[in-house]
A and B are shown apart, each in its own frame.
Chain A
Amino acid sequence: MRRANGKHVMDNHDLHALLDDELSPADKLALMERLQHDDYRRNALCELRNLKEMVKTAYDDIALPETQENALANTTVGWTRLRVAAASVAASLILVFTTVFTGQLGGEPSRLVLLDPAGKGTRPALPGDEEMRIVFHVSGHDPESSEEILREVESMLTSYGAEGKKLRIEIVAHGKGLAMLREKLSTQKQKIAELSKHFPNLTFVACMNTVKRLRVEQGVIVNLIPEAIPIHSGVAHVVKRQQEGWIYIQV
């Protein structure tokens, strides 16, 4: 067991080095060749890469309101815009790199688990897995149905757990549905905290487009509950999940 753990730590080191472009060309080639025969580690690499990208995106999103305010005060709007533009260029470059790299590695298209910041999920969902994956799309603000859905989700997670079957659930909130994940408006804060703590295979996802829109259109600064994981576009995420074969239920 210890040896296995030791090995994983080593593995992650060289994957990190690869991602940060710190390997020599020869080492890089050798590692990529090894990865070609190692599904588990290849997926670990995908996870790491996505984590990196997500942290970056989330950071950009959260930092924005402040920089914009500062920008207005200091009248350095141009500079802020430049920074935002540079960040988006960097993000698209990473995206292109990801696509090309995954393509190079070949093999089956991996089902990336994008939202797994703390390694909460068991592991990446792979094609042919017996794992059931469900994405709930919350687009309206209705405390009654939020409560009902969480109750149903809890009972599904519990019964799957008891039967030893694998289940992954994501609850994606956008538009009016974002209320479920807002400090000020959520009627389910306690339940969400409790469920998140109990079930590592349950993720709450908040649409940052909605957060931005609220700020720009209504001047509302949104405070999300700590369990909410930010993602750029809730709708795009839900579409992606469906394309990956997740089961879709609109709330």
Chain B
Amino acid sequence: MKRLTTLFTAALVALTLALSASTFAEGQGYGKQKVVYHINYDNPKQQAGAMRNIQNHINAVGAENLELKVVLHGKGLSLLLEPDALKHTKLKFANATDEMQAKISGLKDQGVAFNVCANTLKGKKINAESDLYDVDKADIVPSGVAELAKLQARGYTYIKP
């Protein structure tokens, strides 16, 4: 009987150890993440850098563990503005070259959402359907700033690259 108790205790200890070890291993990974990236600048190099940051982020955490949104407002909409549409808008840059479009579509394939600010569309005289790369109604949010606040209130971590 005494031996049985000892055996049982040993098994229990082993089980506890195994369990805590697996918890520890999980803690080493990044787990699930909800993240919002904020872009309100029009420097193409800085924007390309942001796209690279996002790709690296996905590589580290895994697309399946990430809910990642990019919120664009103000000058940041230049990321999606196609070069031949620049003239009739009030933006100073149109950075959606073929190269940038490839990057953006690569990120979208991995589940990244790009949200654009309706206030900016109006203020900068941008037609979302014809001037921007791959934006449909569902991608438009009433206010970029309010969206950033809302997402953070819902547990998204804020990153401004």
B80 CB-CB contact with A under 8 Å: no
Which A residues lie within 8 Å of B38 (CB)? 249-250
> Known contacts being A145-B74, A247-B153, A249-B148, is A152 close to B143, with CB within 8 Å?
yes
B145 CB-CB contact with A under 8 Å: yes
Tell me the complex Cα distance, A144–B38, Å: 17
Q: Using CB atoms and an 8 Å cutoff, list the residues of chain A in contact with chain B.
A: 132, 134, 144-145, 148-149, 151-153, 155-156, 247-251
The residue that B75 contacts in the complex, of A144, A151, A155, with Cβ under 8 A, is: A144
Tell me the complex Cα distance, A250–B38, Å: 8
B110 CB-CB contact with A under 8 Å: no
Shortest Cβ distance from B92 into chain A, in angstroms?
9
Count, A-B residue pairs, CB within 8 A: 44
Which A residues lie within 8 Å of B160 (CB)? 250
Contact A152 B158 (CB under 8 A): no
B18 CB-CB contact with A under 8 Å: no
Add 18 more A-B contacts to A149-B145, A152-B143, A155-B143 (CB < 8 A).
A132-B153, A144-B74, A145-B40, A145-B74, A148-B73, A148-B74, A151-B119, A152-B144, A155-B119, A156-B149, A247-B148, A247-B149, A247-B158, A248-B158, A249-B149, A250-B38, A250-B160, A251-B40
Most interface-central of B120, B123, B145, B153 (chain A CB within 10 A) = B145
Shortest Cβ distance from B36 into chain A, in angstroms?
10
Contact A156 B153 (CB under 8 A): no
Tell me the complex Cα distance, A153–B143, Å: 10
